[in-house]
């Protein structure tokens, strides 16, 4: 019993107002795995080229991340993305995108993954996400899916097919607006719920995240930080903390999803403190517990009103 994570494992080259990363390991599934493996065993599905560092694979393996589903194409190159963040750290320009191995990726779900109860579809081509769902012999207890505006622009029909099959959809505020055609996030959530997902998480970056389910709504703030050093991977890390907590507790009630969102927010707040996955590699259980306590203090108030 554990968690399947699907997504890119890649190289990033990041420039922020605080500095340049040079070429470092990134990719949605990399961030999700580093994060979720704090809470539960992870079974990874991805593809890398011969240039992807063996030490990175070893480090993930040592954390309980199974790599049988990670295809290594020795004669090809890994996915590569280069981007530059603006001063506000919320907007960025993509400088280079080289799909490389990702362009022809056909995921294969190993037999040893078939017992997984939780499936996290990281941001990736909807056709790849759909292929993984279709290969599972038994419907997982919960399927969560992250995506982005890029797929809404070029593969909306495919995207809608996947969205119809998932339980939880994660998008940011502008993506929720684009997908629904509604400006109000409350109306956007209602429209998106009609597409399939029973739960919708709208990520608002430094402004926190909203969880919608039926008529209920929950809000989790982002931790106010002195500096956001590098936002790359924060959304993936959030997703990893969210699904990691659910997989660990095996409780998919709305109430436990609230806690899962706080865990995701706490993990994302670590991610942005250093370049790439660096901070996620350093933190221990105690750091996570302290950070979650900070979230409790941040929103806790006395409701004794006369």
Judged by CB under 8 A, the stretch of 30-38, 109-117, 146-154, 216-224 that binds a second copy is 216-224
Residues 144, 146, 151, 153, CA torsion sign: positive
Residue 108 touching a second copy (CB under 8 A): no
How many angstroms separate the CA atoms of 282 and 288, rounded?
A: 11
Among 73, 77, 92, 258, interactor with a second copy by CB under 8 A: 258
8 A C-beta contact, residue 230 and residue 196: no
Among 83, 110, 196, 208, interactor with a second copy by CB under 8 A: 208
Among 204, 213, 279, 291, interactor with a second copy by CB under 8 A: 204
Least distance to a second copy from the beta carbon of 3, Å?
17
Least distance to a second copy from the beta carbon of 292, Å?
6
Tokens at residue 206, please?
């430094």
Residue 286 touching a second copy (CB under 8 A): no
Residues 49-88 close enough to bind a second copy by CB under 8 A: 87-88
240 forms beta bridges with none
Q: Closest Cα partner for 256 from 168, 163, 145, 192?
A: 168
Among 74, 91, 183, 286, interactor with a second copy by CB under 8 A: 183
Q: Which of helix, strand or coil describes residue 200?
A: strand
Number of residues in contact with a second copy under rule CB under 8 A: 44
How many angstroms separate the CA atoms of 260 and 243, rounded?
A: 7
One DSSP character per residue, 282-300 reads H--HHHHHHHHHHHHHHH-
Residue 292 touching a second copy (CB under 8 A): yes
Contacts of 191 (CB under 8 A, 6+ apart): 179, 180, 181, 182
User: By C-beta, is 20 or 250 nearer to a second copy?
Assistant: 250
Residue 109 touching a second copy (CB under 8 A): no
How many angstroms separate the CA atoms of 137 and 6, rounded?
A: 17
User: By C-beta, is 124 or 262 nearer to a second copy?
Assistant: 262
Footprint on this chain of a second copy (rule: CB under 8 A):
87-88, 183-187, 204, 207-208, 210, 216-221, 224-228, 248-249, 255-256, 258-259, 261-263, 289, 292, 296-306
């Amino acid at each position: 019993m554990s968690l399947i994570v699907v997504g890119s494992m890649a190289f990033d080259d990041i420039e922020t107002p605080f500095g340049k990363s040079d070429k470092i390991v990134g990719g949605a599934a990399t961030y999700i795995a580093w994060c979720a493996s704090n809470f539960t065993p992870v079974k990874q599905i991805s593809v890398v080229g011969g240039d992807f560092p063996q030490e990175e694979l070893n480090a993930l393996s040592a954390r309980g991340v199974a790599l049988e589903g990670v295809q290594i194409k020795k004669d090809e190159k890994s996915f590569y993305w280069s981007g530059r963040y603006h001063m506000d750290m919320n907007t960025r320009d993509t400088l280079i995108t080289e799909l490389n191995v990702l362009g022809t990726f056909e995921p294969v779900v190993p037999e040893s993954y078939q017992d997984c109860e939780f499936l996290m579809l990281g941001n990736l081509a909807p056709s790849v996400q759909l292929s993984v769902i279709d290969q599972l012999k038994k419907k997982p207890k919960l399927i969560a899916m992250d995506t982005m505006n890029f797929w809404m622009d070029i593969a909306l029909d495919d995207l809608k097919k996947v969205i119809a099959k998932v339980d939880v959809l994660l998008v940011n505020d502008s993506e929720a607006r684009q997908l629904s055609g509604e400006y109000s996030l409350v109306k956007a959530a209602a429209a998106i719920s009609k597409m399939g997902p029973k739960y919708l998480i709208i990520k608002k970056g430094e402004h926190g995240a909203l969880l919608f389910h039926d008529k209920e709504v929950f809000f989790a703030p982002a931790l106010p930080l002195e500096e956001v050093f590098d936002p790359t991977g924060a959304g993936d890390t959030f997703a990893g903390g969210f699904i990691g907590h659910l997989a660990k507790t095996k409780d998919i009630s709305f109430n436990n999803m609230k806690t899962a969102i706080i865990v995701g927010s706490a993990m994302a707040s670590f991610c942005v403190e250093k370049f790439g996955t660096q901070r996620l590699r350093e933190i221990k259980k105690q750091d996570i517990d302290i950070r979650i306590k900070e979230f409790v203090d941040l929103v806790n108030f006395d409701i004794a009103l006369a």
